[in-house]
């Protein structure tokens, strides 16, 4: 269709009940062929072909209802959580265990053990918050790569590139071209919950959808995925929020 004959996109506010929860979203109709549902800093949005009936749109939204509610809940939790102050003696979770932060003069970052408790030595001569995030990202990437590798071996799949994500609404993503990305903030969670997200993304290497076949692959990798998914939603609100926003680190660097 020529630019002159193309129909302009139409947007309108829409509300519906999803699993008993009222969801407000923006409905966008345009000259597209597929349906798309997303959650970002603006809220929930659904994009559909121009003349799609409303009941068909709502069926599509309900078919992704749990995904939609999870993303909205995660968005609300991140916005509500207070930022953490980086001070000497502060603690935050690392793989579900307490990590103590220690400040020292100088420019080096060091990990050390104090008995059974792990400590992270942060320099005060540089940007302490940035140093903290980068140290956590480095630990996260090493851990994630090992877990992805194990899941791929169990499915007899080649191991894809593994990178970190700083996405607003997803814990992970999978692409045939770019590999698997996992959010660095998962590093705060218990390994069992991280493994669920890893299993979810590795399963997408075989099934790029959320069909019954996909969930069967997840079941093979992580039989307790239903409980883990529920626990992951609850844990979202408990994660520390650092006042330094650092993007994904390439190469050092559930949807």
What pLDDT was estimated at residue 254? 52
Do 53 and 95 fall within a single domain? no
Do 38 and 91 fall within a single domain? no
Across 178-193, average pLDDT: 94
Do 96 and 199 fall within a single domain? yes
Angle at which helices 191-203 and 225-236 cross, to 10°: 120
Do 47 and 128 fall within a single domain? no
The CATH number given to whatever domain includes residue 168 is 3.30.2010.10
Do 39 and 115 fall within a single domain? no
**Domain, as residue range, for 30:** 10-69
Q: Does 23 reside within a domain? A: yes
Do 52 and 176 fall within a single domain? no
pLDDT at 100 over 60: yes
Question: How many structural domains does the chain have?
Answer: 2
Do 35 and 91 fall within a single domain? no
Statement: the pTM of the whole predicted model exceeds 0.95: no
Do 115 and 57 fall within a single domain? no
Do 35 and 125 fall within a single domain? no
- Higher pLDDT pick, 200 / 237: 200
Percent residues over pLDDT 70 in the chain: 88
Write down the number of H helices and E strands in the chain.
6, 13
Do 26 and 117 fall within a single domain? no
Do 129 and 37 fall within a single domain? no
Do 137 and 193 fall within a single domain? yes
Q: Does 111 reside within a domain? A: yes
Q: Which long-range contacts (CB under 8 A, 24 or more apart) does 165-169 make?
A: 165/248, 166/245, 166/246, 166/247, 166/248, 168/40, 168/41, 168/75, 168/78, 169/38, 169/39, 169/40, 169/71, 169/74, 169/75
What pLDDT was estimated at residue 106? 80
């Amino acid at each position: 269709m020529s630019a002159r004959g193309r129909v302009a996109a139409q947007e309108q506010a829409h509300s519906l009940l999803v699993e008993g929860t009222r969801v407000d979203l923006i409905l966008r109709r345009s000259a597209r062929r597929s349906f798309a549902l997303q959650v970002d800093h603006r809220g929930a949005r659904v994009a559909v072909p121009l003349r799609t009936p409303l009941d068909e749109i709502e069926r599509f939204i309900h078919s992704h209802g749990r995904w939609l509610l999870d993303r909205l809940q995660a968005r609300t939790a991140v916005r509500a959580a207070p930022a953490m102050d980086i001070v000497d003696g502060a603690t935050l979770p690392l793989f579900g265990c307490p990590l103590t932060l220690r400040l020292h003069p100088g420019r080096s970052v060091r990990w050390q053990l104090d008995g059974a408790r792990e400590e992270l030595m942060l320099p005060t001569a540089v940007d302490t918050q940035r140093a903290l995030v980068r140290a956590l990202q480095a630990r996260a990437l090493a851990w994630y790569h090992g877990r992805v590798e194990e899941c791929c071996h169990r499915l007899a799949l080649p191991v894809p590139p593994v990178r970190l994500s700083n996405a607003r609404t997803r814990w992970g993503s999978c692409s045939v071209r770019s590999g698997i990305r996992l959010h660095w903030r998962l590093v705060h969670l218990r390994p069992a919950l991280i493994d669920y997200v890893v299993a979810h993304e590795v399963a997408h290497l075989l099934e790029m959808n959320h069909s019954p076949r996909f969930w069967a692959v997840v079941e093979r990798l992580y039989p307790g995925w239903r409980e883990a998914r529920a626990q992951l939603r609850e844990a979202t609100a408990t994660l520390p929020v650092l006042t330094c926003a650092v993007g994904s680190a390439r190469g050092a660097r559930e949807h």
